[in-house]
Amino acid sequence: MGTSNQGELIPVAEPVFIGNEKTYVADCIDSTWISSSGKYIRLFEESFAEFCGVEHAVSCSNGTVALHVALLGLGVEPGDEVIIPTLTYVATANAVTYCGATPVLVDSEPVTWNMDPMLIESLVTSRTKGIIVVHLFGHPVDMDPIMAIAEKYGLFVLEDAAEAHGAEYKGRRAGSIGHAATFSFYGNKIITTGEGGMVVTNDDGLAARMRQLKGQGMQPGSRYWFPIVGYNYRMTNIEAAIGLAQLEQIDWHLARRRENAQWYAEFLGDCELVCLQPEMPWAKNVYWINSVVLGESVRLTRDEVMDALAAKSIETRPFFYPMHVLPIYEHLTGPEGYPVADMLSSRGINLPSSAKLTREDVARVSSALIYLVKAMR
């Protein structure tokens, strides 16, 4: 990997292909197995299940439909409620809505920025079917208290691990703790298939239901017999070939993300005007994206800081808008509001985090950020 020059763009994310991607894709083309059948589907699913430490992995065409098919498989129906964090990507809420169910929003806690487990139990009603936890930006949610609530009330827990491939909670891989988990392989994720998603679970029956649902509802062993309404949510063999090659190199990808985080901590750790996402003692953060929250004394707004960084050829992204401020979900706002999520969303910046970054790149980003937050105090 080379060092970028001072004026070259540092992108916020960029996929890296260092393994067998071209070889496996060429094999798909040569064999003509390019659609949703072929050996790479099976190999990728089996390898990803092993990586997560679970029995089953069901490939899908993207991370959003992975959430949808998981919720359908878990029995979510119109009229149900599913508890989710308000600070998440909109796909989490949309997938609940696709089922005709209602997302019930939870505020964040200020340390890891994930959903606050202490606020969940008071939101459980007779209509509550389950809980979706989101391992935001690669740091796992504190799962034990949430699993205890789920057991107490007979709820499912679905891990939205789109951003957390390889993250760990008390030594257990993200995706192996809840009743099921979903992953995204979009181009900016730790490993990618271009588009693509996966659902993992230890539940044999759930895995079978999701496989039927994602394949138009066709009954296994009875070609063109469709006893249920299903969906075309299948991954292609070419996508799976890329995913398998990426997964073979995942230790390298994870090591690079953590190295980026170490560099950001080195350069930004002493700056009291920005807060980096921590790593709790019980967690292994995979740092899908390296993020900062601007301190209250920084006079520039978050967007002004981002614009100034863009002028220096440094690409950034804002934190997600909380669901309760979006026009499609603002009617779900609870009486207490969501002050932590509002604060994080208004002050949060996602910094360049590609596995291609060099130490010099991170130093350049950090130096520019420190200059901006200090110059306008």
194 lies in the same domain as 283:
no
pLDDT of 3 reads 42
Query: What proportion of the chain, given as a percentage, has pLDDT over 90?
Result: 96
For the cut 50, the answer to whether the pLDDT of residue 2 exceeds it is no
Supply the CATH number for residue 135's domain.
Answer: 3.40.640.10
Residue 280 pLDDT grade (very low, low, confident, very high; cuts 50, 70, 90): very high
The two structure tokens encoding residue 25:
């894709």
Tens-digit pLDDT profile for residues 143-182 = 999 999 999 999 999 999 999 999 999 999 999 999 999 9
Residue 75 pLDDT grade (very low, low, confident, very high; cuts 50, 70, 90): very high
Tell me the mean pLDDT in the region 124-147.
98
Q: H helices of the chain, where?
A: 21-31, 39-52, 63-73, 90-98, 143-153, 204-214, 237-248, 250-268, 302-311, 339-347, 359-375
Residue 353 included in any domain = yes
Contact predicate 131/157, CB 8 Å: yes
- Among 200, 226, 248, identify where a domain stops: 248
Residue 13 included in any domain = no
Residue 136 included in any domain = yes
pLDDT of 377 reads 55
94 lies in the same domain as 145:
yes
35 lies in the same domain as 182:
yes
195 lies in the same domain as 321:
no
Residue 6 pLDDT grade (very low, low, confident, very high; cuts 50, 70, 90): low
Residue 10 included in any domain = no
**Which is nearest to 57 in space by CA: 181, 161, 178, 160?**
181
DSSP state of 321: P
Supply the CATH number for residue 352's domain.
Answer: 3.90.1150.10
64 lies in the same domain as 189:
yes
158 lies in the same domain as 280:
no
Tens-digit pLDDT profile for residues 309-338 = 999 999 999 999 999 999 999 999 999 999
Query: What proportion of the chain, given as a percentage, has pLDDT over 70?
Result: 98
Contact predicate 213/98, CB 8 Å: no
Helix (H) or strand (E) holding 317: strand 317-318
Residue 5 included in any domain = no
Tens-digit pLDDT profile for residues 191-226 = 999 999 999 999 999 999 999 999 999 999 999 999
- Among 188, 213, 248, identify where a domain stops: 248
239 lies in the same domain as 255:
no
For the cut 50, the answer to whether the pLDDT of residue 1 exceeds it is no
151 lies in the same domain as 75:
yes
157 lies in the same domain as 69:
yes
Tell me the mean pLDDT in the region 271-275.
95
Q: What's the predicted TM-score (pTM) here?
A: 0.95
161 lies in the same domain as 297:
no
- Among 205, 223, 248, identify where a domain stops: 248
Residue 169 included in any domain = yes
Residue 16 included in any domain = no
Long-range interactions of 89-96: CB distance < 8 A, separation 24+: 89/134, 89/162, 89/320, 90/320, 90/323, 90/326, 91/63, 91/64, 91/67, 91/162, 92/67, 92/132, 92/134, 92/160, 92/323, 93/323, 93/329, 94/64, 95/64, 95/67, 95/68, 95/71, 96/71, 96/132
Domain extent, residue 59, equals 21-248
Strand partners, 75: none
User: Which amino acid appears at position 165 of this protein?
Assistant: H
Q: What does the mean pLDDT of the chain come to?
A: 96
Residue 32 included in any domain = yes
125 lies in the same domain as 29:
yes
Number of domains in the chain: 2
Tell me the mean pLDDT in the region 59-83.
98
Long-range interactions of 125-129: CB distance < 8 A, separation 24+: 125/81, 127/79, 127/80, 127/81, 127/102, 128/80, 128/81, 128/82, 128/83, 128/104, 128/153, 128/155, 129/74, 129/75, 129/76, 129/77, 129/80, 129/81, 129/82, 129/101, 129/155, 129/156
329 lies in the same domain as 273:
yes
Tell me the mean pLDDT in the region 359-369.
98
